Amino acid sequence: MPQYRAPIRDFEFVLKEFLNIEKYKDLEGFEEVDNDLISALLSEGAKLCEEVLFPLNQSGDTEGVEFKNGNVKVPQGFKEAYETYTQSGWTALTCDKKYGGQGLPDVMNMAISEMICSANLSFGITPGLTHGAYNAIHMHGTEKLKKKYLPKMVDGTWTGVMCLTEPQCGTDLGLVRTTATPHGKGVYKINGSKIFISAGDQDLTENIIHLVLAKLPDAPDGIKGISLFVVPKIMVNDDGSLGEANNVTCGSIEHKMGIHASPTCVMNYDNSIGYLLGEAHKGLRAMFTMMNEARLYVGVQGLGLSEVSYQNAAEYAKERLQGRGLKGAKYPDKAADPLVVHPDIRRMLLTMRSFNEGARALATLTALKIDVSKKHPDEQERQDADDFVQMITPILKSYLTDAGFESTNLGMQIFGGHGYIKEYGMEQYSRDARIAQIYEGANGIQALDLVGRKLPKHTGRYLRAFFHPAAEFVEKHKENKEMAEFTKALHQALGTGQQASLWIAANGMGNPEEAAAGSSEYLRLMALVVFAYIWAQMAEISLKKLAQDTSEKEFYEAKLATARFYMQKILPHSYGLLASIVNGAKPVMAMKEEAF
């Protein structure tokens, strides 16, 4: 049976030491955030995830979701767990106090989100989507819509979902066929079907608020003709009570590779009443409010599953006796040495660990930058933070899910044959992780977004939001001998990233296929460079702590050892990626289509 323990000490390192959250007290929402609150939230979140959600993960995967007579039923224990989750106030954590929220900054939600993804990803999808729907309504809805729907979404009485995909359109949303016909002032009748709707129907809550992309009768062709509508499953009366059913029905559920305890629905809308959210024909603007931050949380799904896989693989490697150390027996009193003595096992474990700790710091930093971009009083500070978020979002979503999936496979590999057996739990993490590379914008699309939109935008301003601070960090520490091993590697990595960026920009301008052919490799290369900057900063903190205090010597020495592994064994992969990028599009595009 697998185990999970929330990595509280590392969360504390990120929030208290790497980000020093207390220094943001002047920003809205941060007033009450201090180290004591951070510790309390981490402790309570860990208790929920370890004791309530994690025990349901394997049973939920085995039981799956039931679809009968048009109704969706979640696995046993999930309703009770959801009640515990909502009654504990987790749905309201970062929501507006005006609608019943606690008003804490987004950064305070990251550790809890990761814990939930580690403990029970299928469970976490529903409240995660609800928060995204809340964000879209909060930012783009009229005050009437907000008052009507947000309070019960904030307290978890109702959930929310996004409804984009149709059988004929996934990435290309300009092909949407769902229609919205005016039916009186501000009211529309929605007709059409959506597929792949996570948590589109369930029996956890009494109502589900659907955000549906549809086209008005006068809509122009393509994505410029899409509008977004609030479509409740059950109509809501003016006094907030529930009215009649709204002809929002589940036609079927998908039978999937993973996330078996999360319903993935085909949703049908038959003259369902909807309300315009935002402006007509500008639905993607409102929807991407929901999706951009959702991409951060999807990245955290890859991280969360990698963390729980690592924990179990590390424990197994220390216990499982197989073979002898190559330099001789490490434990001669035992029948064999544990797996952890073998170099390749250690390589896999350190690959997982260096990813987990780097990804945790990057995801939490990005959430903080989102807060700063919204709340900082200085316009330039807001702009700089938003520039960083714009560049990092496709990198974070794509790399954290790609590397997260690779990491769960390493965890399964460490278990050997037992990793392939269901009762050990490792194969579920791989199955569950796979979807994160696909939904909320497939990773290839994230790469195209990076090279096609983010790299050229404002003549490279988004990239400067990363490269300039990283270069300043190297310059600041150029005389620090203790930091030399980290700053030298970071300096070289920055050069590699700049070379790749210049090549993509120069060659993609004349032939967009040159940029597209190397886009996924460029995204991965940039992810490795970004992680190098993150690890260099964490190494600096660890060196200072070791010089000041040895009470947590093992923690900081392990952090430095992991940093060295990353810089010396993972970061060099960037050189091979650069070589592939500059070989251009011809090897990709030369083969005739009929030869495939």
Segment 374-413, tens digit of pLDDT: 999 999 999 999 999 999 999 999 999 999 999 999 999 9
Measured at the CA of 533, the angle between CA 530 and CA 537, to 5 degrees, comes to 145
Q: Does the model's pTM come out above 0.95?
A: yes
Residue ranges of the chain whose pLDDT lies below 70: 289
pLDDT of residue 185: 82
Q: How far apart are CA 127 and CA 113, in angstroms?
A: 10
CB atoms < 10 A from the CB of 510, how many? 8
d(CA 296, CA 389): 10
In whole angstroms, give the CA distance from residue 323 to residue 329.
9
Chain Cα centroid distance, residue 146: 26
Q: What is the pLDDT of residue 275?
A: 97
Dig out the tokens for 433 from the structure.
Answer: 């992780």
143-283 matches 8-135 in CATH topology: no
Quick check: is 440 catalytic? yes
Phi, psi dihedral angles at 588 (to 5 degrees): -85, -40
Which CATH topology does 143-283 take? Butyryl-CoA Dehydrogenase, subunit A; domain 2 (2.40.110)
pLDDT (0 to 100) of residue 359: 98
Q: Which of 440, 514, 521, 540 is catalytic?
A: 440
With H, G, I as helix, E, B as strand and everything else as coil, classify residue 194: strand
pLDDT at 550: 80
**Contact indicator for 245, 166 with CB cutoff of 8 Å:** no
Q: Decide: 305 and 433 in contact? Cβ < 8 Å.
A: yes
257 closest CA partner among 362, 121, 112: 121
CA 554 remoteness from chain centre:
30
DSSP letters spanning 489-554: HHHHHHHHHHHHHHHHHHHHHH-HHHHHHTHHHHHHHHHHHHHHHHHHHHHHHHHHHHHH--TTHH
CATH of 8-135, one of 3.40.50.300, 1.10.540.10, 3.40.50.12160, 3.40.720.10: 1.10.540.10
Check: CB of residue 290 under 8 Å from CB of residue 441: no
Residue 160, H or E segment? strand 158-163
- Would you tell me the crossing angle of helices 553-565 and 519-548 to the nearest 10 degrees? 150
Structure tokens at 168: 């004929």
Task: Tell which residue, 288, 296, 326, 321, has the closest CA to residue 391.
Answer: 296
Closest CA relative to residue 16, chosen from 368, 467, 285: 368
Write down the domain spans for the chain.
8-135, 143-283, 453-596
Q: What is the pLDDT of residue 230?
A: 98
What's residue 171's pLDDT? 84
CA 546 – CA 553 distance, rounded (Å): 6
Please name which of 190, 185, 184 lies closest in space to residue 210, comparing C-alpha atoms: 190
d(CA 505, CA 496): 14
CA dihedral (117, 123, 125, 127) positive or negative: negative
369 near 383, Cβ under 8 Å? no
pLDDT digits (tens, 9 = 90+) for 221-250: 888 899 999 999 999 998 999 999 999 999
Alpha carbon distance 57, 429 (integer Å): 10
Asked whether 401 and 446 are in contact (CB, 8 A), the reply is no
